[in-house]
Structure 1
Amino acid sequence: MKRTPYWPVLTHPVLRKVLPGIGVSSIGDGMSTIAIAWLALLLAPADQKGLWVALAAAAYVLPGAIGAVAFERWLRGRSGAQLAGWDAVLRAVVLGAIAVVHFVGLLTPMVFVVLLAVSSLLAAWGKAGRYTLLAELLPEEHVLAGNAVVNVLLEFSTVGGPPLAALLIAWAGPAAVIALDAATFAVLALTYRAAVPPSARETRIKAPASRSTGLRTILSNPELVGLMVLSFGFFLFFGPVTVALPVHVSEDLHGTAVQLAGYYTAFGIGAVLGAIVAGYLKNWPMRVTTVGIVLGFGLALLPLGLSPSTVVGWIAFGLCGLIWGPFPSTTTVLFQRAVPADGLAPVLAARGAVMSLAGPAGALVGAPAVVLLTAQGTLAAAAVGMIVLAGLTAAFFLASHRKRVVDVVG
């Protein structure tokens, strides 16, 4: 173990205390992946199920983009631990409120979506804080491994979370699962508070004055712009999958939450394995790697849109997870390498804000797509879109590389 790139991360005096909290919270979030979709299905009118699943999925992510801009004046320059901790507190309080409102019989589809939206207002800053903390605590040569360890924990959420959620939903209902997720976020918030030293938790980092600094920094770097476009398109095409898959299981296959959990568990197992591999990829060409991931994901997703077999679907979605696994670590490290630590949080928050628009936008497209193409047809269309996106991006990067070579020779 000491010879792996993960040893310095796992033995770091601060991170070894923070990582268990991230792991507990990730399990809670993995449970909510099933619970939010299933609660939306239960609350929605029979002829609007796809719409409310899409709105719920969007509400749990999209407001993070608003928060990234609206709260920059107060959050820019804060330490990574502060940003991540405050996001965890907000999630704990508002997700807990969803459970309470449901238990007293007042939860409607609209109230559910509004509360989900409030819970995600600090999502972009929370994610930025998590990776900023790694950049603050680790030397550059260990940052990719740090990203990979965190992402292994996050991806493990789709291994343990969905089957646990399915059992709890059958016993107590999806609102109880969301309440448990709120409790795990409370644990995470306490972990950041207790484990991170006050000097690292409370110090304000000198930050630029402009509210648009993060986005302007990205736009000034062609490599980061290309990465953003590829990532945005990838998440955009995955958005309809989050709508079509629950509807496909519920309506086409007449399945249960357990069957839906099987898809996410298969994805999670693959994603954990892929995330573990990510720590060994520091010498790989990262742009080529990201294009390959998008292409491979699209090819692996295609069987879900072509085969009615649940087993084939589980295997294909598991392969999608394996291919996806390194993507968060390798793309994040490109930003961590390109941007100094004192300006990293606004850049990652801007990136998170832009990325948070992609999935919900795709989910909103997914609702009418399910009506027009059927749920399985929507899955096939999303797969084809990813394949085309990868091809176009590869052509763009190749043309850009040739131009740089010509400029150097000239």
Structure 2
Amino acid sequence: MAVETRNWSYWRVLRDCRVWVLLAGDLVSNVGDGMIITALPLLTLRIHGGVPAPLAVAAVEASPYVLATVLAFTVGLTRLRIPPRALIIVDCLLRGGVLAALGLLAMADAITLPVLVCGLLIGSVFRLVGMSARRLAVTAMAAPEGRLAANGLLGTSTSLAIYAIGPVAGGILAAGHNPGIALLVDGASLVLLLAAAIVVTPQAAGSVDGESIPRSGLRILRRVRVTARLLVVVFGFNLFYMPIEIALPLLVRGPLGGDAVSLGLIWAGFGVGALIGAVLTGLLRKLPEQRLPVLIITAWAAVVLLLTVAPSVPYAVAAFFVGG
């Protein structure tokens, strides 16, 4: 007779000290990453020199994803497999060291735009696969009944740290000090995650119930057609989302007449909205699954249109809250 199991609550999952230690490291590092959402564009606007400001900001924002995306596709679509624990450790060491070095250069007013772009390009090689490795490690350590809650904790802490707490802290630091200090703090924020990966993450993290990780993501795309279609939708959505991150600091410093704290508050509005959305996700289960993504994408488009006519920073905060 089969025994029905119930999904664990957040608190039940957090009873495992290994899980909450790794989640704590993930949370702290995400706060650091959220800080440079506001600090990087502001630093770029200080050092762009003769390069047009929009192009300079675009280059800086895109550079962490170029080599990282190449590696992510290589790992995901081929048979190359790297243990999640190793990915987390390498990412922390490389990205933490590079961010700290860039922060020190910026605080000494010795950084240039090419140095910043190249540093972010090289330092973020393992960023995307490292973030995926965190999720694999946490879910592998949780019991089967706790995996849903573990994923929920990761998503909630990411929204809270990267888009709510981090941008405000980064804006305050950038307004009161050199924006480079936010990069230095971001690099330091990876120390706790590094220690958690070394101490509590098992060597075999990444396999689930004794099953090996699928050999090829390309095989999954071929077998499960809806996965390929969703990949196209997500790629297109993010393709048209990223220009918002480029335009927002220019909008704040230009038409809205805001400062670093204003930019942080707008991102915080987005983060709070995303956090509320994550908490209320369970209420959407009864809605048609195929129509819901279309509705969400359409609503986000409407929010962006509202943002283009924002007359003030509070209006922009409210618009981004709804978008989040």
The 3 A distance-change label for structure 1 pair 97 and 70 is: farther
The equivalent residue for 2:88 is: 84
The equivalent residue for 2:3 is: none
Q: CA deviation at 1:86?
A: 2.2
Find the aligned partners of 2:23 and 2:286 in 1 and give their Cα distance.
25
Secondary structure in 1 matching 2:254 = helix
Query: Structure 2 counterpart of 1:303, which letter?
Result: L
Q: CA deviation at 1:217?
A: 2.1
Q: How many residues are matched?
A: 317
Query: Structure 1 counterpart of 2:58, which letter?
Result: A
The 3 A distance-change label for structure 1 pair 201 and 251 is: same
Query: Structure 1 counterpart of 2:300, which letter?
Result: F
Contact kept? 2:22, 2:196, Cα under 8 Å: yes
2:117 to 113, 117, 125: 113
The 3 A distance-change label for structure 1 pair 199 and 63 is: closer
1:18 to 22, 25, 35: 22
The equivalent residue for 1:229 is: 232
Is 1:122–2:129 an aligned residue pair?
A: no
293-302 vs 137-146, which deviates more? 137-146
The 3 A distance-change label for structure 1 pair 69 and 236 is: closer
Q: CA deviation at 1:74?
A: 11
The 3 A distance-change label for structure 1 pair 223 and 142 is: farther
Contact kept? 1:76, 1:207, Cα under 8 Å: no
Contact kept? 2:63, 2:121, Cα under 8 Å: yes
1:101 to 102, 105, 112: 105
Q: CA deviation at 1:192?
A: 1.4
Find the aligned partners of 2:79 and 2:185 in 1 and give their Cα distance.
28
Normalized per residue, the structure richer in helix is 1
Q: CA deviation at 1:77?
A: 3.3
Contact kept? 2:91, 2:130, Cα under 8 Å: yes
Q: CA deviation at 1:76?
A: 3.6
CA deviation map 1:189-231 (0-9, x unaligned): 11211222455489x985677xxx2234224321101111111
Contact kept? 2:36, 2:182, Cα under 8 Å: yes
Q: How does 1:14-163 map to 2 (within 5 A)?
A: 14-45=18-49, 48-69=52-73, 76-139=80-143, 142-157=146-161, 158-163=163-168
Contact kept? 1:79, 1:133, Cα under 8 Å: no
Q: CA deviation at 1:146?
A: 2.0
Q: How does 1:253-402 map to 2 (within 5 A)?
A: 253-278=256-281, 286-321=289-324
Q: CA deviation at 1:282?
A: 6.5
The 3 A distance-change label for structure 1 pair 278 and 14 is: farther
The equivalent residue for 2:11 is: 7
CA deviation map 1:341-377 (0-9, x unaligned): xxxxxxxxxxxxxxxxxxxxxxxxxxxxxxxxxxxxx
Query: Structure 1 counterpart of 2:198, which letter?
Result: R
The 3 A distance-change label for structure 1 pair 21 and 198 is: same
The 3 A distance-change label for structure 1 pair 118 and 251 is: same
67-76 vs 261-270, which deviates more? 67-76
Contact kept? 2:102, 2:111, Cα under 8 Å: yes
The equivalent residue for 1:182 is: 187
Which consecutive unaligned segments of at least 5 residues does structure 1 have? 322-410
Contact kept? 1:62, 1:117, Cα under 8 Å: yes
Find the aligned partners of 2:171 and 2:89 in 1 and give their Cα distance.
28
1:196 to 196, 201, 206: 201
TM-score (norm 1): 0.70
The equivalent residue for 1:170 is: 175
281-290 vs 227-236, which deviates more? 281-290
Q: CA deviation at 1:320?
A: 0.7
Query: Structure 2 counterpart of 1:243, which letter?
Result: I
Q: CA deviation at 1:249?
A: 0.8
Q: CA deviation at 1:258?
A: 1.1
Q: CA deviation at 1:38?
A: 0.8
CA deviation map 1:96-143 (0-9, x unaligned): 121233344431101100101112111221122122224423455543
The equivalent residue for 1:352 is: none
Find the aligned partners of 1:74 and 1:178 in 2 and give their Cα distance.
33
Find the aligned partners of 1:117 and 1:75 in 2 and give their Cα distance.
25
Secondary structure in 1 matching 2:257 = coil
The 3 A distance-change label for structure 1 pair 215 and 142 is: same
Find the aligned partners of 1:132 and 1:281 in 2 and give their Cα distance.
26
Query: Structure 1 counterpart of 2:218, which letter?
Result: L
Q: CA deviation at 1:272?
A: 1.4
Query: Structure 1 counterpart of 2:182, which letter?
Result: V
The 3 A distance-change label for structure 1 pair 147 and 289 is: farther
